[in-house]
Structure 1
Amino acid sequence: MVKKMEGFPGEMIIVVPGKIIEEIKKNPLINGLYVTDIGFYPNARFHYRDRKEGIEEHILIYNLEGKGTIKIGSKEHEILPNLFFVIPAHTPHTYYSNEENPWNIYWVHFSGEKSDLFSKITGHINVISPSPVSRKKERTELFTEILVNLSMGYSRENLEYANLCLWHLMASFMYINQFRQILKGSQPDFTIQAINFMRENLNKPLKLDDLARDAGYSASHFSKIFSEKTGHAPMEYFNQLKMQEACRWLDTSTLSVAEIASNLGFSDPFYFSRTFKRIMLQSPTHYRKRNFK
């Protein structure tokens, strides 16, 4: 089998010099997560890498077309189109393209003090299901954005911009549904429907039973599903949306705290203030005063 590490027609590749990496490590804005190497290998026939001791960085491989294989330990992972895989740092591995149907991959080596936070998508196959709202083009454009800016040299501005883009790129893989949300519109998702109902009724003192009834579930089942999907209990989420609206009024109107409380369905302004302070960690009065300092 012919083996090539790089050198594919149409490829793009940037390897950030070690001296520049040392500068990045001293920059508090970007030392949490940064690119060390990034590239695009189209139709990468005979692409092959074998690292018996792994490398210091994590490696993300995103396959657009064709096939390839990633081996970690004794386990082989077939990488088909619309799959991505993150190889953990310091992990021995081998990967290679299929000879008959070679993969087309975007890839990035990344490191930093916070790079381990992406463990949720590390060490296993991740599927990006094709969809009319997949935003595949936007994701690949993020790779290109980083590549182009780094290709213009390593000024402080270029490094900061490119590595801040890396956060957005990684988020597009870790939070696929959220990345697609901008194109979803009024898609019939249970959680989105519930949140829209909350937003449409911020002026009402709705209870858990009201939210569950609109969603067509029992209160207990609704609460369980909503909490699993959002990480917050339904009524807590509803109150967070109300406090978001309260902040808007405090910032842009002369309404009193009692009037804002009433507009948001709170019959007791003192209970509203306690709720606001619990969520915002400051009182409504203190929040409003901060804009006039």
Structure 2
Amino acid sequence: MNNTVTKRRMGFEGEKFIAIPQKVWKDIFKRDPNFFQIYITHMGYFPKASYHYRERRKGCEDNIIMYCLQGKGHYILGDKRYEVVANQFIMLPATDKYMRYWADADDPWTIYWIHFTGRTINAFNKFLQTDNHKGPQTIPFNAKGIDIWQNIYSSLEMGYSTENLCNAMFGLYDFIASFLFNERHIAPEKNESSDIITLTVNHMRANIEKKLSVEDMARQHSLSSSYFSIIFRKATGMPPIDYFINLKMQKACQMLYSDEAKIKTVAMDLGYDDPYYFSRIFKKFMGMSPEQYRINTRK
């Protein structure tokens, strides 16, 4: 009896796979060689990928991002060997180093993966330091990343129109970010302080024409001004008054664009009795005077 196991690149039950023809990208780059700085070449989903095996003796000209959902696998990059387990991802940079990766024999991995490249791929890797390979990275279950992958796949499955390619390639950035900056893509648990921030911002918006103080805001929640300022700044990255002024300037921009009201009226509607003081604040935040902003946005 022949017990030889056949190593496989693909062909797994339930798999999904797309390879974008090179001609598609050649035609796109004839029209505009600079629009897609990075782009997808292949992508796939391999569930329970028993005997999955790839050897690349001369490396790979693409970056490969791979997310292990279940099971485990292994890879070699250069002269180093790594193990990948569930809820870990790897970003293999474009390289000419020897590369090999394969599913574990006893507990084969389930993986989502994307190959991508581009004229700026070396700069991309240098800036994000993906060329300094750190091995598998552990993250919480990345539901958002999987949803983005599905959206990209669905777009490309519908064909290679400009709209479908744009949607997929813009999604590629979001997909990568959901792994490299995973903590920024996790919805924070609701807690008392986050409710306080939401209520305060809503209160600011509802009273945009008033002069609110930190004491006024803190009093709404029976907190001391100092403690309120600390939790507000921690949540938003800026002091309460600066945040309130930002909201006022945002509203001022809307009014200057859509209304014919005089600068003095805009200032009064936002709680500024002195239009010259309002203009100085506006310029500080927006980099130009209210008059110049109105001219620029109506060109």
The answer to whether the Cα contact below 8 Å between 1:72 and 1:91 also exists between their aligned partners in 2 is no
The answer to whether the Cα contact below 8 Å between 2:40 and 2:114 also exists between their aligned partners in 1 is yes
2:168 aligns with one of 158, 162, 166 = 162
The amino acid of 1:31's aligned partner reads F
The amino acid of 2:25's aligned partner reads I
The amino acid of 2:138's aligned partner reads V
**What's the TM-score, normalizing by structure 1?**
0.74
State the alpha-carbon separation in 1 of the partners of residues 190 and 91 from structure 2: 30
Q: Return the offset for 1:85.
A: 1.7
Q: 1:149 to 1:200 in 2, by over 3 A?
A: same
Deviation string for 1:111-149 (max 9, x for gaps)? 22455446548333333314xxx6x1x532322332233
Corresponding position of 1:272? 278
Corresponding position of 1:99? 105
State the alpha-carbon separation in 1 of the partners of residues 201 and 63 from structure 2: 40
The amino acid of 1:6's aligned partner reads M
State the alpha-carbon separation in 1 of the partners of residues 250 and 11 from structure 2: 52
State the alpha-carbon separation in 2 of the partners of residues 191 and 28 from structure 1: 45
Q: Return the offset for 1:198.
A: 5.2
The answer to whether the Cα contact below 8 Å between 2:156 and 2:168 also exists between their aligned partners in 1 is yes
2:260 corresponds to 1:257: no
2:210 corresponds to 1:201: no
Q: 1:70 to 1:246 in 2, by over 3 A?
A: farther
SS of aligned partner of 1:172 = helix
Q: Return the offset for 1:64.
A: 1.5
2:11 corresponds to 1:7: yes
The answer to whether the Cα contact below 8 Å between 2:197 and 2:232 also exists between their aligned partners in 1 is no
SS of aligned partner of 1:216 = helix
Q: Select between 27-36 and 79-88 the one with higher mean Cα deviation.
A: 27-36
Deviation string for 1:42-98 (max 9, x for gaps)? 111122223243222211101211112233344444322222221111163332222
SS of aligned partner of 2:26 = helix
SS of aligned partner of 1:38 = strand
2:117 aligns with one of 111, 116, 133 = 111
1:128 aligns with one of 118, 127, 139 = 139
Corresponding position of 1:246? 252
Corresponding position of 2:90? 85
Q: Return the offset for 1:264.
A: 4.5
- CA root-mean-square deviation: 3.9
Q: 1:235 to 1:44 in 2, by over 3 A?
A: farther
SS of aligned partner of 1:101 = coil
State the alpha-carbon separation in 1 of the partners of residues 195 and 78 from structure 2: 41
2:179 corresponds to 1:188: no
The amino acid of 1:70's aligned partner reads Y
Corresponding position of 1:35? 40
State the alpha-carbon separation in 2 of the partners of residues 74 and 192 from structure 1: 51
Q: Return the offset for 1:290.
A: 4.6
SS of aligned partner of 1:14 = strand
Q: 1:206 to 1:167 in 2, by over 3 A?
A: farther
The answer to whether the Cα contact below 8 Å between 1:215 and 1:222 also exists between their aligned partners in 2 is no
Q: 1:254 to 1:169 in 2, by over 3 A?
A: same
| Structure 2 spans left out of the alignment, 5+ residues | none
Instruction: Pick the structure with greater CA Rg.
Output: 2
**What's the TM-score, normalizing by structure 2?**
0.72
The answer to whether the Cα contact below 8 Å between 1:69 and 1:98 also exists between their aligned partners in 2 is yes
Q: 1:279 to 1:76 in 2, by over 3 A?
A: farther
The amino acid of 2:151's aligned partner reads E
Aligned residues: 280
| Structure 1 spans left out of the alignment, 5+ residues | none
Q: Return the offset for 1:34.
A: 1.0
Q: Return the offset for 1:152.
A: 3.6
Deviation string for 1:187-236 (max 9, x for gaps)? 239789658745643644657xx8996573887x987x67xx95x78876
The answer to whether the Cα contact below 8 Å between 2:229 and 2:240 also exists between their aligned partners in 1 is no
The answer to whether the Cα contact below 8 Å between 1:11 and 1:40 also exists between their aligned partners in 2 is yes
Q: 1:70 to 1:160 in 2, by over 3 A?
A: same
Task: Report sequence identity in percent.
Answer: 32
State the alpha-carbon separation in 1 of the partners of residues 27 and 273 from structure 2: 56
The amino acid of 1:170's aligned partner reads I
Q: 1:52 to 1:292 in 2, by over 3 A?
A: same
1:21 aligns with one of 4, 21, 25 = 25
The amino acid of 1:78's aligned partner reads E
The answer to whether the Cα contact below 8 Å between 2:17 and 2:45 also exists between their aligned partners in 1 is yes
Q: Return the offset for 1:250.
A: 2.8
The answer to whether the Cα contact below 8 Å between 1:66 and 1:103 also exists between their aligned partners in 2 is yes
